[in-house]
Amino acid sequence: MSTNLSKPAAGASGGAADLSEDTACVEGTNTEGATNIEGTADREGVARVEGAADREGATMTGAQAVIASLEAEGVELVFGYPGGQAIRMYDALYDSVRITHVLARHEQGAVHEADGYARATGKVGVVMVTSGPGATNTVTGIATAYMDSVPLVVITGQVPRAVIGTDAFQESDIVGITMPVVKHSYLLQSTEELTRTFHEAFHIAKTGRPGPVLIDVPSDLAAEDMVFHYPTAINLPSYRPTYKGNAKQVRQAAERIRRAQRPVLYVGGGAIISNAADELRELAELVQIPVVSTLMGKGAFPASHELSLGPIGMHGSKYGNMALTESDLVIACGVRFSDRVTGRLSGFAPRAQLIHIDIDPAEIGKVRDPEIPIVGDLKGILAAIVTDLRKQGFEPSTGPWVCQVSEWRERWPLYHPGLGDDPAQIVPEVVMRRLSEKLDPYSSIVVTEVGQHQMWAAQNIMREVPRSFLSSGGLGTMGFGFPAAIGAAFGCPDKTVVCVAGDGSLQMNSQEMATAAINRVPVKVLVMDNRCLGMVCQWQKLFYQGRYAHTLLSDIPDFVKLAQAYEWDAEGVSSPDQLDAALDRMLAAPGPYLLNVRIARDQNVYPMVAPGAAIDNSFGEIDVEEGAVRVARCEQEAIGGAR
Amino acid sequence: MRHVLSVLVENKPGVLSRVTGLISRRGFNIESLTVGPTEDATMSRVTAIVSADELAYEQITKQLHKLISVHKISDLTNDAAIERELVLFKVCAAPDRRGEIIEIANVFRAKIVDVGGSSLTIEATGDENKLRGMEDLFRAYGIKEIIRTGKIAMSRNSKEA
Ligand SMILES: Cc1ncc(C[n+]2csc(CCOP(=O)(O)OP(=O)(O)O)c2C)c(N)n1
Ligand SMILES: [Mg+2]
């Protein structure tokens, strides 16, 4: 591990860090990690911020009020990157004993870190950056969080009010730029509205359908004196999310479920946000309803459960997709009918009636009109449905359907041990299965990047509990996974956090290796190294006659050396017999660790539903009746079929 | 289908662009747009006319409802709503034809607001039918310029819209 991590005596110079020291030490001492508590205490003449309560009525600068507001919201971690227009807020943050700041190495990394922290813990992720380029660098991170409904508060420094609109140095209209990808945003106009704005921002970010909220803070306002009063109430008449489901619709839903012969629970990220795992399981078990899950819903229902049908959609299980196709009732729980899930719309659950439960009324009927819509919080609504069913007495009648689905699952499994037979090369699905077996599902979090490796992970890594599988579902952001894993590790220090990365994706935010090293975040990065942008290659192979236009990467960089340059431990494996021991070493390592697994370049993710096809029309599934080989209904056929 | 949307929003900078951005982002053209303060100084009213099929229209209004700055949305399309627009016509008018044009303007209870050597400027308010009728008649004389304010609308019933 890094020698830079041995921290010198805190507060060595009574306030000003000695810049002649190794800069990494300076940073490690005074702004990162727990030592800043001592650092602050040692500094003379600096009022210790004890939290918001004792700041009530105190006079302070706008910048200090920003930090006091964060403390009042219970914020413990801020991910960010300073700069000229944020320097006053950073100066105030320097005094906080409650808030630890994590210095990312790129603002995009900071936002994904806060996002991973939020997904893993359910708390609001907080980001602080400077104006101009600092602010624009957050855009992809904000858009990623928006698409997946992740609560963030992003604080951006802004040029002084007097020069806004003059193209001042490092001015960018970040409120304008991010408007389509935030739940709400503020450009602070005066210190009077500062504390109310922060209180509202946190409230909006985490309630209803969560999402990112941006607060743009002009730097002159941060310098102004003000009296600190933190509001206790929220006054937002235009924002009142519906939580309780309509009683009549709940009754209708229960009634319809009672009559269902072939019901399916279609579960998404909303089930995790709503904390509805217990209620979901109760309903599934009571009525005996098979459960399919979107990428975002993975973990909401235990993978080991006999009613679990795993992932659905473009690379979903054949049995999950077939269950939807044959179903007579789909109970959609916190999902948004993504095109990656539905395939051709007319072919999605064509024989089913639909109950759609979501807290966001705009999701209901957006893609498909439900017979029974219910707006509200999934947890309470599922509980109410279960209560209704129990009250009237209920005997499951879905036995034949559950048997049928189990038969499909046995015939077309997502995985078969036979896949591991190749002695010459490491098979991607095998890597994922081995990793899955070695992880305790209750004390581990798997985070993915975006590409083939993401789909292999989703198909083969078993998850039992919510918030244990994090992936960029809606935006599909390469570069999300690694920083998000760092953020998750910050939020859940008692859990093993593994990032399953692609060699392409990892290069989008590999600078965050420094963040992990300096903060000793024991994140594990497993690189599925196929030396190509595999997912795009797969499409080129299937639909573009194998014309690999700019998708072949190379052996550069050497990821092991790259990690070592950041003082990580790292190793690479390329033959199947090395894999098990290497995974063990990775998981046993005390600090950050990179394992590069060389896999073949030409592997495809199967099964696959061609874009525009119905989801029961997949190819490449394993068929046990055909000797458990992948029924590549041949790639040629796919080329002919889709183009 | 043409929809008249009346949106009550917070009277704050940037709110109009939140509303219009949301509509245009989903691929709809705004045919007419007016904004103005209301009886409550903290609120503004946006009146927008958009063409969208029922499904798309429902999605627009649901998404608009999600904006924190939006307080209320009324659809004044099918409502027996009062719709008004103010238009200025600059009509070619040689001295010998002025009389006819003034007569037309009077029929529509429009006002002559400026008289030039070769043109008359007429101010008219009304609903779409009336204004279109006037425009058609003035075309015969030649129209140099038309400026319209965009529509405002209010529901007829006493209920607050
Ligand atoms: C930021 C970004 N740019 C481009 C893409 C398009 N894209 C989707 S998957 C993929 C390839 C990912 O390559 P890699 O990380 O190596 O994963 P693999 O598919 O090889 O497992 C690309 C380029 C994306 N999703 N995100
Ligand atoms: Mg790759």
Tell me: the pLDDT tens digits for A141-185?
Answer: 999 999 999 999 999 999 999 999 999 999 999 999 999 999 999
For residues B116 and B140, state if they share a domain. Answer: yes
User: Which is nearest to A572 in space by CA: A538, A537, A534, A531?
Assistant: A531
Q: What is the pLDDT at residue B26? A: 83
Give the count of domains, chain B: 2
Ligand 1 atom having least distance to the Cα of A475: 25
Residues B100 and B42 in one domain: no
The verdict on B65 and B9 lying in the same domain is yes
- Would B98 be classed as within a structural domain? yes
Q: Domain boundary at B19, B48, B78, which?
A: B78
- For residues A326 and A270, give the distance between their C-alpha atoms in angstroms, rounded to a whole number: 24
Q: Does residue B101 share a domain with residue B74?
A: no
**Could you tell me the two tokens for B5?**
């949307």
Do residues A293 and A312 make contact, with C-beta atoms less than 8 angstroms apart? yes
Distance between CA atoms of residues A73 and A202, nearest Å: 8
Per the rule left: phi > 0, alpha: psi between -120 and 50, beta: everything else, A178 is alpha
Domain final position from B61, B78, B95: B78
**Does B160 reside within a domain?**
no
Nearest CA in chain A to B18: A179
Q: Which of B31, B49, B78 is the last residue of a domain?
A: B78
Separation CA A431–CA A415 (nearest Å) = 12
Strands A263-267 and A225-227: unpaired
CATH number at residue B58: 3.30.70.260
Q: Are B58 and B92 in the same domain?
A: no
Closest by CA position to A575, among listed A422, A418, A417? A422
Are B62 and B128 members of one domain?
no
A4 band by pLDDT with thresholds 50, 70 and 90:
very low
Residue A224: pLDDT band (50, 70, 90) is very high
CB contact under 8 A, A180 and B21: yes
Q: What's the pLDDT at B27?
A: 83
Within 10 angstroms of residue A330's Cβ, the number of other Cβ atoms is 27
d(CA A343, CA B121): 59
Could you tell me if A85 and A159 are in contact, meaning their C-beta atoms sit under 8 angstroms apart? Answer: yes
Helices A62-72 and A194-206, axial angle in degrees (round to 10): 30
Q: Specify the 3-state DSSP secondary structure of A359.
A: coil
Measure A554 CA to ligand 2 centroid, in angstroms: 10
The answer to whether residue B161 sits within a structural domain is no
The domain that holds B94 is classified in CATH as 3.30.70.1150
3-state secondary structure of B7: strand
According to DSSP, residue B3 is labeled: E
H-run or E-run covering A311: strand A308-311
* pLDDT tens digit sequence for A291-305: 999 999 999 999 999
Is there a domain that residue B120 lies in? yes
Is the per-residue pLDDT at A14 higher than 50?
A: no
If asked whether residues B51 and B104 sit together in one domain, one would say: no
Residue B14 within a domain:
yes
A478 contacts: CB under 8 Å, gap ≥ 6: A449, A450, A451, A502, A504, A505, A508
Which 3 state secondary structure label does DSSP give A3?
Answer: helix
Q: Report if residue B116 sits inside a domain.
A: yes
pTM of the predicted protein model = 0.92
Report pLDDT for A632.
59
Residues B94 and B149 in one domain: yes
Do B38 and B12 lie in one domain? The reply is yes
Summarize the confidence of residues A240-255 as an average pLDDT: 97
| Residues within a 6 A CB radius of ligand 1 | A 449-453, 476-479, 502-505, 528, 530, 532-536
Q: In the numeric block, which tokens belong to residue A554?
A: 């190379």
What torsion do the CA atoms of A418, A422, A423, A428 make, to the nearest 10 degrees?
A: -100
CA distances from A290 to A326, A457, B99 (A): 12, 22, 81
Share of chain A above pLDDT 90, in %: 87
Instruction: Calculate the average pLDDT of chain A.
Output: 91
Judge if B21 and B59 occupy the same domain.
Answer: yes
Q: Which residues surround ligand 2, an ion (CB under 5 A)?
A: A 502-504, 530, 534
State how far the Cα of A517 lies from the Cα of A519, in Å rounded to an integer.
Answer: 6
Closest CB to A238: pick one of B13, B62, B71: B71
Identify the residue whose tokens are 């495809």: A604
Structure tokens at A83: 């700069």
Q: Model confidence over A73-129: pLDDT tens digits?
A: 999 999 999 999 999 999 999 999 999 999 999 999 999 999 999 999 999 999 999
| Partner-chain residue, chosen from B18, B63, B71, that has the shortest CB–CB distance to A179 | B18
**Cα dist. A429→A153, A297, A336, A461, A627 in Å?**
37, 21, 28, 9, 18
Helical axes B98-107 vs B128-139, angle rounded to 10°: 170
Please check whether residue B116 touches A, CB under 8 A: no
> Which of A455, A477, A535, when mutated, tests ligand 1's pocket best, judged by the most ligand atoms within 8 Å of its CB?
A535
Q: Is A504 helix (H, G, I), strand (E, B) or coil?
A: helix
Chain A partners within 8 Å of B62 (Cβ) = 361-362, 366
Q: How confident is the model at residue A53 (pLDDT cuts 50, 70, 90)?
A: low
Range of the domain at B111: 82-153
Residue B159 lies in a domain: no
Verify that B55 and B32 share a domain, yes or no.
yes
Whether residue A48 is predicted with pLDDT greater than 90 in this model: the reply is no
Q: How much distance in Å is there from the Cα of A505 to the middle of ligand 1? A: 6
Assess whether the previous peptide bond of A237 is cis (omega < 30° from 0): no
Q: Does pLDDT of A264 surpass 90?
A: yes
CA distances from A315 to A143, A318, A447 (A): 24, 9, 18
Same domain, B27 and B61: yes
What pLDDT is stored for residue A394 in this prediction?
A: 83
